[in-house]
């Protein structure tokens, strides 16, 4: 980038070929990582995991990001070092590398120690920030993986309340509740179970628990609120089918509910 900027007149900004972001002045130096081709061309697809940086890559990011916040007397030398590759991470190798790269001799070599101390401080700040972020992510993951409180106890309590309420109801209240349940369970397409419940309910209220079959069908249709035109044949078939069950006794044209 530096070589291109020197050759190109009026080079006020450069753009990243991957993310298409423009950088003015020396801002491009901070752009040390970018999106992958999958992220660029398949944004709606599965997002790849972020690549884990090596210790050397993290160190180079520290060196490059430290330039902007460096003391005035260190900024120029750090800028030169940041433009180089494979800056050593150990103190002795760094001092030799920096002294040779900056052509420092004699008393000037002392500035290398200041640069090293400054970079190590920034490295510690980066490490502390990474550990804090990792701990926060772990805490969020633990919170999301925590088991949800069981609703079994509440469900059992509700069931017990319902059973207690049902046991304390009067026969008239039970019949009213049964009629309501039958209507709620009835659908546009009549089913065997709904007709069976309605037949029991109607016969239970009848004198002697007996009715003519035709009258029973009328009462069942009324109980289930069925359309007469659409459900007549279907209802007749279902009543006849249920009449064969052990709960009912056919006596000619009459049908009777067995008493337990």
CA-based angle 215:238:227, to the nearest 5? 65
**3-state percent breakdown (helix, strand, coil) of the chain, nearest 5:** 65, 5, 30
pLDDT for 245: 87
Is residue 133's pLDDT more than 60? Answer: yes
Cβ(204)–Cβ(230) below 8 Å: no
- Binning pLDDT at 50, 70 and 90, where does residue 47 land? low
pLDDT band at 17 (very low <50, low <70, confident <90, very high): confident
CB 197 within 8 A of CB 182: yes
**pTM exceeds 0.75, yes or no:** no
């Amino acid at each position: 980038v530096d070589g291109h900027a020197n050759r190109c007149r009026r080079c006020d900004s450069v753009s990243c070929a991957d993310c298409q972001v423009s950088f003015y002045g020396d801002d491009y130096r901070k752009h040390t990582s970018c999106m992958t081709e999958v992220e660029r061309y398949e944004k709606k697809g599965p997002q790849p995991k972020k690549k884990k940086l090596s210790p050397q890559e993290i160190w180079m990011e520290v060196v490059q990001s430290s330039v902007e916040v460096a003391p005035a007397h260190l900024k120029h030398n750090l800028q030169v070092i940041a433009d180089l590759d494979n800056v050593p991470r150990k103190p002795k190798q760094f001092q030799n590398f920096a002294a040779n790269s900056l052509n420092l001799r004699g008393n000037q070599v002392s500035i290398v120690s200041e640069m090293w101390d400054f970079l190590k401080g920034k490295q510690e700040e980066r490490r502390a920030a990474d550990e804090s972020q990792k701990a926060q992510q772990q805490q969020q993951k633990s919170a999301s993986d925590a088991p949800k409180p069981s609703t079994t106890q509440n469900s059992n309590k509700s069931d017990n309340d319902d059973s207690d309420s049902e046991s304390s109801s009067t026969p008239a209240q039970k019949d009213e509740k049964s009629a309501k349940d039958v209507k709620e369970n009835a659908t546009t397409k009549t089913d065997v179970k709904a007709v069976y419940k309605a037949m029991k309910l109607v016969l239970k209220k009848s004198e002697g628990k007996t009715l003519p079959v035709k009258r029973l069908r009328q009462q069942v249709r009324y109980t289930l609120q069925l359309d007469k035109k659409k459900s007549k044949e279907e209802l007749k078939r279902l009543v006849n089918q249920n009449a064969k069950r052990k709960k009912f006794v056919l006596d000619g044209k009459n049908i009777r509910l067995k008493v337990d």
